[in-house]
Amino acid sequence: MSKNVVSVDKSSSVLEAAKLMDKHNISSLLVVENKKPVGIITERDMVRKVILNNLDLNSRVEKVMTSPVISIEADEDITKAAEILINKKIRRLPVVKDKKLVGIITETDISRSSPKALEEFSSSIEKIERFLKDL
């Protein structure tokens, strides 16, 4: 888990969010309200919801964020985190303690930290691919 999560308040502008992403060389920001994650805004959101719709860059991020955000409690194990990423088809998973943001887990974090979780993650992906092939 990465503990230094870059976040933006839900009342911040889309332009402020884009500048933060650029400054930290990241592709997403967690959107928070009173230190609690309420959404996520990604580069994809910027393209699809802002640029393609010619949205004013001074619009608030809460207008374009994906919400509600799916999160995991800090005391859960990494296998549970991998399952959530797979089942919900997401790439980033905020970690909360007492509903407050304490970190974030990504697919990369899982692959680096736990061979067992990576093996289970890969196995699940193979099962999903076989299922989709059979449709």
Tens-place pLDDT, residues 93-130: 999 999 889 999 988 888 777 666 566 666 777 777 78
What gap in Å lies between CA 59 and CA 77, rounded to an integer?
Answer: 38
What gap in Å lies between CA 110 and CA 107, rounded to an integer?
Answer: 5
Task: Please tell me the predicted confidence (pLDDT) of residue 86.
Answer: 87
Give the residue carrying structure tokens 């509903």.
99
Q: Which two tokens stand for residue 55?
A: 């949205």
Task: Please tell me the predicted confidence (pLDDT) of residue 77.
Answer: 86
The domain limits of the chain are 7-134
Pick the CATH number of 7-134 from 3.60.15.10, 3.40.1160.10, 3.10.580.10, 3.40.50.11720: 3.10.580.10
Task: Please tell me the predicted confidence (pLDDT) of residue 93.
Answer: 93
Task: Please tell me the predicted confidence (pLDDT) of residue 21.
Answer: 95
Task: Please tell me the predicted confidence (pLDDT) of residue 60.
Answer: 95
Task: Please tell me the predicted confidence (pLDDT) of residue 111.
Answer: 76
Q: What is the pTM of this model?
A: 0.74
Q: Which residues of the chain have pLDDT under 50?
A: none
Give the residue carrying structure tokens 């193979």.
126
Q: Quick check: 65 and 45 in contact, CB under 8 A?
A: yes
